[in-house]
Amino acid sequence: RDLKKALGLPAATSFKHVSPAGAAIAVPLNKEQLKLCMVEDLENELTPISTAYARARGADRMSSFGDFIALSDTCDVTTAKIISREVSDGIIAPAFEPKALEILKKKKNGSYCVLQIDPNYESQNLETRTLFGLTLEQKKNDALIDRKLFSGTNVVATSKPLTEEAVRDLIVATIALKYCVTCANRPLFRLLTTEAVDPRITSAVFKKGVKRAEISNYIDVFVNGSVGKEMDANTWKNAFESAPALLTDSDREEWISKLNGVALSSDAFFPFRDNIDRARQSGSDREEWISKLNGVALSSDAFFPFRDNIDRARQSGVDYIVSPGGSTNDTSIVEACNHHKITLIHTGLRLFHH
């Protein structure tokens, strides 16, 4: 609702564990973005609100796995179609088209959570929480984020005027940040992959049976240059009819050098100028430092859905992993741990409480 109020366009957010994994407004998708958001087959059916959700989900597909969706406008049939083929736990919207509701009712064998909210509802100014008999109160976050926030004397350093697109992106980023739980902020640089990815991967043909979530992983390791590191080279090759040529270091530097107009929002001040230098640069070489890490212990309160989690953990020196287990892909996870000589413990115990 904040996004629509600020920008006047239908908006959607993909929440994971009460923080937004992706937030977007209804800006049309080009051919490349249609493919990256996995809605190219619906190009002629896309509506403003379905476009907003496709963008929100596509911002960070791995973090959006099992999301809860919030829409500013009525959920229509096209939006319901997109949701029906994604792993999602629920949706909240001001209204639902009858046919869209029928589609959503079939999801998760009828257990998909569908909530309707009064779009004019205003919560109380005072928020209250009770923990072990202790009552905590705080004023709700009613910060107004609009174009005025990014203009006038607030602009303290600039070499050129802010474009409309730049202001729009800053508003989306900052409103999303407003709803992040404290300490949930994470680097936003990987979101760049949604906007610009080498055509070698966007035009690649995946083998039949490769799942949508897995495709997101393959694109990610391609862009990050972690094939053969975070992901086994044979696993990579076996996912394609014909595996695309990998990016070289020079390819990646050239690609990143062409990126411009990226908006970055932070919920804390920048203590040193190297934060700004890092945002402007393509990245720092951490491989030598990371390669020296060993004996790291990793504890997770959820199962690991794909083996690339283990491959990545190994790159950070992880030798010991404990998790509840329970994934349909546990066999692959165990195989990955054996491959990396990682000790894996499945406790069967979930500690997370809502």
10 Å CB burial of residue 105 (0-12, 13-18, 19+) is middle
4, 16, 35, 107: which one is catalytic?
A: 16
139, 208, 292, 354: which one is catalytic?
A: 354
**Separation between Cα atoms, residue 262 and residue 173, nearest integer Å:** 11
81, 105, 178, 185: which one is catalytic?
A: 185
* Rg of the chain over all Cα atoms, to the nearest angstrom: 21
Is residue 353 part of the annotated active site? The answer reads no
Q: How far is CA 55 from CA 14, 22, 42, 46, 325, in A?
A: 10, 8, 13, 12, 31
Q: Alpha carbon 105 to chain centroid distance?
A: 25
**Separation between Cα atoms, residue 183 and residue 35, nearest integer Å:** 32
10 Å CB burial of residue 131 (0-12, 13-18, 19+) is exposed
Is residue 30 part of the annotated active site? The answer reads no
17, 81, 178, 229: which one is catalytic?
A: 17
Catalytic residue set: 16-17, 185, 354
